[in-house]
């Protein structure tokens, strides 16, 4: 909206607005993103009329937008006490509680909203998201299906159901919903990506490539379709994932990253921590430690007991923003991993990397950089996905999900050429994806 049409911000005019006009003005400020001004107006209203339920509720919503989940829950619960007749308020409460991972409370809120408004597709879509987070997949599918029966034009419900079906290995069924999501919202990047991945998984390679080519024609500078097109066709495959692809992907994924991994039985951080325990014995905060590709910080709390100083590095600023509240890192750095390692001459006793090197194809350069960043006797501990079958001559392969898998001998060769000794490789299961276990390798190697 042009600035001249925006409501006035707090000042003399705002201070003299009538109480009758204050709530509509506050809501308009809120909708336009003037959160500080809206907060001031809501608080002014509540100072004069503490039982104004709408002001209490929307102040709660605003607090949620500002990341103050406890205050948001308090205000929204209070608004419901003041006026328990509004199903959308229970739905909003569920949204805040779901994001805070308070799943039983979120379930109570969504169930009450659905009971009060059984024909509300938005509420049912959110209930589906809650059931997915609870790993109650049949109930999630039922909720999404009912939401779409009520309103088949909801792209987010098609997308959510497609993701759920793909997660369960029902790839053929997921195609319809990704297609519908894309038709309803052609600019929906996630639906395009997942549609291409679904086609590829079904070995419909030409159709997968067509999805990404059309996307790339519309957005020639977008690194995401370029990366997936390379994965589909095997043409122009980079030695490692492009920085812009990694940053874009994980900035978009940061908000839901931890919750999504919980549904995949993700084990890489725990496996890395177990390997560190075998190397380090009793934790005594004895090492300078680097968490290479720290993401949201899932490894951090597990390895912190061994760290005199713990640094996390990642290319995604949004992932780092999620890692910071864990309060286990002494420093968080936004940087490309190889470049950062090259700047860390003999700075670390231990480098850990859980599911980061799967965004590298050839591991030679990053292994060499890691060796230079370690002190004498220091250890490198990391995971990669295992490359099985396929072209016998291929040392690594870019897969349709956008990650590389590696042959064991390629990793061992890269470590040896970088000067590492005492390397070990343990066959592991990293996660379940599409109902199928993803096999990997857990490597440890020492810098002499």
pLDDT at 158: 94
Is residue 94 within 8 Å of 111, Cβ to Cβ? no
Q: Residues 395-403: what's their mean pLDDT?
A: 90
Residue 424 has pLDDT above 80, yes or no: yes
pLDDT at 220: 92
Is residue 315 within 8 Å of 337, Cβ to Cβ? yes
Q: At 357, phi and psi to the nearest 5?
A: -70, -5
- Residue range(s) of every CATH 1.25.40.10 domain in the chain: 3-220
Lowest mean pLDDT across 49-63, 196-210, 226-240, 344-358: 196-210
Concatenated DSSP letters for 7-55?
PPPSSHHHHT--HHHHHHHHHHHHHTT-HHHHHHHHHHHHHH-TT-HHH
Q: Residues 400-421: what's their mean pLDDT?
A: 95
Report the range out of 10-24, 237-251, 265-279, 300-314 with the highest average pLDDT.
300-314
Pairing of strands 287-292, 348-353: parallel
pLDDT at 20: 77
pLDDT at 16: 63
- Rounded Cα distance between 316 and 332, Å, is 11
Structure tokens at 300: 């951090």
Q: Name the region of 71 (left: φ>0; alpha: ψ -120 to 50; beta: rest).
A: alpha
Mean pLDDT over each residue of the chain, to the nearest integer: 90
Contacts of 433 (CB under 8 A, 6+ apart): 167, 264, 401
Q: Residues 303-331: what's their mean pLDDT?
A: 95
pLDDT at 432: 77
Q: What is the pLDDT of residues 329-368, one digit of tens each?
A: 999 999 999 999 999 999 999 999 999 999 999 999 999 9
pLDDT at 12: 38
Is residue 258 within 8 Å of 300, Cβ to Cβ? no
Contacts of 332 (CB under 8 A, 6+ apart): 294, 311, 312, 313, 314, 320, 323, 324
- pTM of the entire predicted model: 0.71
Of the candidates 137, 139, 168, 337, the residue with the CA atom closest to the CA atom of residue 250: 337
- Residue range(s) of every CATH 3.40.50.150 domain in the chain: 257-446
Lowest mean pLDDT across 10-14, 247-251, 443-447: 10-14
Q: Residues 228-241: what's their mean pLDDT?
A: 91
Lowest mean pLDDT across 56-60, 141-145, 252-256, 268-272: 252-256
How is residue 299 annotated by DSSP?
S
- Percent of the chain predicted with pLDDT > 90: 71
Of the candidates 264, 238, 268, the residue with the CA atom closest to the CA atom of residue 440: 268
Name the maximum alpha-carbon separation found in the chain.
77
| CA of residue 373 relative to chain centroid, distance | 28
Is residue 383 within 8 Å of 272, Cβ to Cβ? yes
Lowest mean pLDDT across 123-127, 177-181, 273-277, 297-301: 177-181
Owner of token pair 């001004």: 37
| Homologous superfamily of the 3-220 domain (CATH) | Tetratricopeptide repeat domain (1.25.40.10)
Residue range 257-446, CATH number: 3.40.50.150
């Amino acid at each position: 909206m042009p600035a001249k049409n925006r409501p006035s911000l707090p000042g003399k005019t705002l201070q003299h607005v009538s109480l009758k006009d204050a709530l509509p003005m506050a809501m308009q400020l809120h909708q336009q993103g003037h959160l500080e001004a809206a907060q001031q107006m809501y608080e002014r209203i509540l100072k004069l009329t503490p039982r104004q339920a709408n002001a209490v509720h929307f102040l709660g919503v605003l607090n949620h937008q500002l990341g103050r989940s406890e205050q948001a829950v308090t205000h929204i619960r209070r608004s419901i006490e003041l006026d328990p007749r509004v199903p959308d308020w229970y739905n909003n409460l569920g949204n805040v509680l779901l994001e805070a991972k308070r799943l039983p409370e979120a379930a109570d809120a969504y169930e009450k909203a659905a009971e009060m408004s059984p024909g509300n597709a938005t509420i049912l879509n959110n209930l589906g998201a809650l059931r997915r987070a609870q790993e109650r997949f049949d109930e999630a599918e039922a909720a999404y299906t009912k939401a779409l029966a009520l309103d088949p034009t909801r792209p987010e419900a098609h997308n959510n159901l497609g993701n759920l079906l793909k997660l369960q290995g029902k790839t053929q069924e997921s195609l319809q919903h990704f297609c519908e999501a894309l038709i309803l919202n052609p600019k929906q990047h996630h639906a395009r990506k997942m549609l291409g991945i679904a086609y590829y998984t079904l070995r419909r390679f030409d159709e997968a490539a067509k999805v990404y080519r059309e996307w790339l024609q519309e957005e020639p500078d977008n690194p995401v379709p370029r990366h997936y097109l390379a994965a589909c066709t095997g043409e122009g495959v980079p030695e490692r994932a492009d920085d812009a692809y990694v940053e874009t992907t994980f900035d978009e994924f940061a908000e839901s990253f931890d919750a999504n991994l919980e549904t995949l039985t993700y084990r890489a951080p725990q496996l890395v921590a177990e390997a560190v325990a075998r190397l380090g014995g009793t934790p005594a905060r004895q090492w300078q430690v680097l968490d290479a590709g720290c993401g949201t910080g899932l490894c951090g709390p597990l390895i912190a007991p061994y760290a005199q100083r713990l640094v996390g590095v990642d290319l995604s600023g949004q992932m780092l923003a999620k890692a910071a509240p864990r309060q286990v890192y002494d420093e968080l750095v936004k940087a490309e991993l190889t470049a950062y390692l090259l700047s860390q001459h003999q700075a670390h006793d231990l480098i850990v990397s859980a599911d980061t090197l799967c965004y590298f194809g050839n591991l030679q350069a990053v292994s060499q950089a890691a060796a230079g960043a370690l002190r004498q006797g220091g250890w490198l501990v990391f995971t990669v996905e295992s490359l099985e079958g396929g072209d016998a001559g291929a040392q690594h392969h870019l897969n349709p999900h956008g990650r590389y898998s590696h042959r064991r001998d390629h990793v061992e060769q890269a470590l040896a050429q970088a000067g590492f000794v005492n390397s070990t490789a343990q066959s592991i299961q990293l996660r379940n994806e599409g109902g199928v276990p993803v096999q990997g390798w857990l490597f440890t190697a020492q810098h002499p």
